[in-house]
Structure 1
């Protein structure tokens, strides 16, 4: 196999098809044979015009833009714990089934969308993601907020050195527009502060204007912009 193509083993196994990531840095002019019967994805810096021109010439299809944000964690109070410890906001095994129901249908604008992935595949992907976050198998934890015993919002967090990356953040439709997402970010800052995390990063689709507005209003600044492309061979 050409070294420009890296098999994404977990996604290939999960979706039961060959999915490759295209490493264009190995030399754009050297690519001649793409792996057959596969889906190839590539994530490009929005300023890398040579690579964007290359994928356009080679019949890749634009999928979505991704905008990345960062914010420093300062030594201040972000979220009122109401006398509870932070551990009371960390989702446990008992919350998994409710979280799976919560994410179903929530990410309609995901890059895992039709015609490349059907709705069932997309929802299954996010159900597995949230389960793995609770079990600390990918993200390190999942924080949740509740309203009268029901989950009103969740956020998954992955820690590496002194940086925390938000994986999934979601608010069920009955609770949207009530400031829950803002509270989730503040809870995230409080959690990160307790673990001496210096920076929080998060990414969202360029088309998700409301999320971008929320992050900017919450003190995040733009760090990068990327484009996703797919090629079905």
Structure 2
């Protein structure tokens, strides 16, 4: 199989990791992808449908390796008629230090981990992600769960998508999954959003179980590959 694609720069990631990074953009109108196009990049990412075995094989021929497999879910959110809703525990600027520490502890294994990135970079990346979410950059909001002592025990970040949909950016916390999914649905109801999307790694069995128990339905599987 010949892959028709271009490589588009990932400017934010290139700056953050100090690694010249791009991502494959597949298009039938693009020229065939060649090794020569790829060698000028320090890191090239590709995301494909897990069922697309022909494209998977062709990318591996070009030197790509599978880094992570993920499953995507969507949860239908019931939108009740009018009425007042409960206020949600939205993270504020003063919560950022605690959230960064929690994120750096929770997200130590990801596609931004070793051997592709230096040790500790995964936690640093997701620490920055949650900080950006609190400030409304990329994700729109960060909601909090608390333990019995009043300390932050988990968080979920969300962003609005076109078509009356939303997506979970990050969701993490020890024993707080059910609470965080309920908060995410509460935010969707406040925003009149009918569908909540969330993805997780194949290997993250607790998250897979949580999303199914919350009523989410699997809608897709994908591979991330790096070169």
Whether the 8 Å CA contact 2:78–2:189 is kept in 1: the answer is: yes
Offset of residue 35 of structure 1: 3.4
Query: Can you list the C-alpha shifts for 1:119-154, whole angstroms capped at 9, x where unaligned?
Result: 222221111101000000110000001222210110
Q: Distance in 2 between matches of 1:29 and 1:102?
A: 43
The whole-number CA distance in structure 1 between the counterparts of 2:63 and 2:145 is 44
Alignment of 1:6-155 (within 5 A): 6-26=8-28, 29-33=32-36, 34-75=38-79, 85-86=87-88, 89-147=89-147, 148-155=149-156
Equivalent residues of 2:133, 2:142 under 8 A apart: yes
CA distance, structure 2, for counterparts of residue 106 and residue 217 of structure 1: 21
Runs of 4+ in 1 over 2 A off after TM superposition: 23-32
CA distance, structure 2, for counterparts of residue 163 and residue 216 of structure 1: 19
Distance 2:112 2:125 in 1: 9
Q: Secondary structure at the match of 2:105?
A: coil
Q: Does 113-122 or 26-35 show the bigger shift?
A: 26-35
**Hey, what's the Cα distance between the residues in 1 that align with 2:142 and 2:33?**
43
Is the Cα–Cα contact under 8 Å of residues 28 and 54 in structure 1 kept in the other structure? Answer: no
Cα RMSD between the aligned structures? 2.0
Count of residue pairs brought into register by the alignment: 217
More contact order relative to length (CA 8 Å, sep ≥ 6): 1
> Any idea what the Cα deviations from partners look like across 1:168-214, whole Å, max 9, x if unmatched?
0010xxxx34xx21011011111110110010000000111111111
- Give the unaligned 5+ runs of structure 1: none
TM-score by length of 2: 0.89
CA distance in 2, matches of 1:193, 1:119: 39
Shift of 1:24: 3.6
